[in-house]
Amino acid sequence: MSDPPRTPLEIVQTFMNTIGRKEYDAALAWVADDCEYTNVPLGTVRGPEGVRAVLEPFFAPTLENEFVWRHSATEGAVVFVERLDRHRLADRWVELPVTGVFEVRDGRISLWRDYFDAPTILNEWPRAEED
């Protein structure tokens, strides 16, 4: 059994790996109750339930999610990550370059901002069928 994550970087890595597997309860245990999560072009939500409300429907059509870390840097409790988010859908992979900024407080993510070009992902993402 591996040691639990201790550094802000390890906490963010653990969170991202877990949320990518769609293990929502386990992943959201790493999110502070007052966390502010912003998809910069799309809006802000708060707390674990806000994060779940954004990610669970977004990941619903995915068969697999992969976060390829290109670069990361930390300064105290702040973690910067340049990554390529890859999402396998039924018929193809969709990729999105993202830069994320995380702040960790008391072992949990208290702030998360992702910066990306919304049309890059939205133009490739399956649309919900209208009733």
Q: What is the pLDDT of residue 88?
A: 96
Catalytic residue, chosen from 106, 114, 117, 131, is 114
- Domain interval for residue 61: 8-122
Q: What is the pLDDT of residue 25?
A: 97
Catalytic residue, chosen from 25, 85, 106, 117, is 85
Q: Which residues pair with 91 in a beta bridge?
A: none
- CATH number, domain of 57, equals 3.10.450.50
Which region holds residue 17: left if phi is over 0, alpha if psi is between -120 and 50, else beta? alpha
3 labelled catalytic: no
The answer to the question of residue 129 being in a domain is no
Q: What is the pLDDT of residue 128?
A: 58
Closest Cα to residue 58, out of 9, 105, 3, 127?
A: 127
The answer to the question of residue 54 being in a domain is yes
117 labelled catalytic: no
Please count the structural domains in the chain.
Answer: 1
d(CA 72, CA 41): 22
Residue type, 101: V
The answer to the question of residue 127 being in a domain is no
The answer to the question of residue 1 being in a domain is no
In the DSSP assignment, the letter for residue 42 is T
Q: What is the pLDDT of residue 130?
A: 37
Q: Which residue matches tokens 């890595």?
A: 13
Q: What is the pLDDT of residue 2?
A: 67
Catalogue the E-assigned strands of 1-131: 31-39, 43-46, 64-75, 78-88, 93-105, 108-115
CB-based contact 80:9 (threshold 8 Å): no
Q: What is the pLDDT of residue 131?
A: 36
The answer to the question of residue 130 being in a domain is no
CB-based contact 54:37 (threshold 8 Å): yes
Mean pLDDT by 10 residues, the chain (131 residues): 81 97 97 96 94 95 96 97 96 95 97 92 70 36
d(CA 17, CA 4): 14
